[in-house]
Amino acid sequence: MENDVIIDVDHVSMRFNLASEKFDSFKEYVIRTLKKQISFNEFWALKDVSFQVKKGESLGLIGLNGSGKSTMLKVIAGVLKPTKGSVRVEGTVAPLIELGAGFDMDLTASENIFLNGAILGYSRTDMEKYYEDIVEFSELRDFMNVPVKNFSSGMVSRLAFAIATIGQPDILIVDEVLSVGDFRFQQKCEMRIRNMLDKGTTILFVSHSIEQVQSLCNKVVWLEKGNLKMVGDSKEIGDIYRNS
């Protein structure tokens, strides 16, 4: 890998097998699976996609629902293994892919800070050091002893973002998280992302707001039905996408 390339997506395809029948019970599904009596429809979420991201770049993934954006992020984050092709990633990754992923909803916000931190690879000592910053940024000080299952989606988003953006990860992956919560907090999150960019963090960003993508990203990858349609300057391609 070239020295300045931090993510190399090389001819990646991702196939999902979707059951073509409905089942009345899980028992029926298991029995018919064992008897090999289930037929599947193949669905290719990604089809031979290649692109590179250089260290310090901010890359936006754009496309309609079902275009493969979230699947691509999960492949890069190591959550999914591609059916074909490969992804090489250099450095530490802080993924903000699904709201509440890594949280135990029965635990309090405080307990989830340490649980989520452990999942991201931080020690308890590290998390004790970052704890106050997380509480301050999330603006949830009065709710630290409340189980997360009682949180609104906006509160979960605040906590997840505050945890994922501690320290200085090499790569930050953000998928639609900024679309949840109030406008003022979205601006606060954008400011933190910009600060991380200034310090050299590489950003992968998904949003349905083309304006937000063009504001935060210098480069975009446009996916359409799993195919790579265009890759290049965010302003130029974003304008083409908006008018398509």
User: Quick one: which of 130, 194, 211, 197 has its CA closest to 166?
Assistant: 130
Report strand pairing: 202-206 vs 40-54.
Answer: unpaired
Predicted confidence band at 174 (pLDDT cuts at 50, 70, 90)? Answer: confident
User: Quick one: which of 102, 101, 103, 99 has its CA closest to 177?
Assistant: 99
Inter-residue contact 170 to 151 (CB < 8 Å)? no
Cβ contacts of 34 within 8 Å, gap of 6 or more:
none
What is the average pLDDT value for the chain, to the nearest integer? Answer: 88
Inter-residue contact 205 to 50 (CB < 8 Å)? no
- Amino acid 39: pLDDT: 62
Residue pLDDT, tens place only, 87-132: 999 988 888 776 667 789 999 999 999 998 888 888 999 999 999 9
Exposure class string for 108-129: b at 16+ Cβ within 10 A, else e: ebbbbbbbbbeebebeeebbee
Q: What percent of the chain has pLDDT over 90?
A: 57
Angle in degrees, 0-180, between the axes of helices 109-119 and 153-164, rounded to the nearest 10: 40
pTM attached to this predicted model: 0.80
Give the CATH number of domain 5-242; options: 3.40.50.300, 3.10.580.10, 1.10.10.10, 3.40.50.10900.
Answer: 3.40.50.300
Residue type, 52: Q
Average pLDDT over residues 3-32: 79
Residue pLDDT, tens place only, 24-61: 677 766 666 666 666 667 889 999 999 999 999 999 99
Give, rounded to a whole angstrom, the gap between the first and last alpha carbons of the chain: 35
Both tokens of 33, joined, read 């699976």
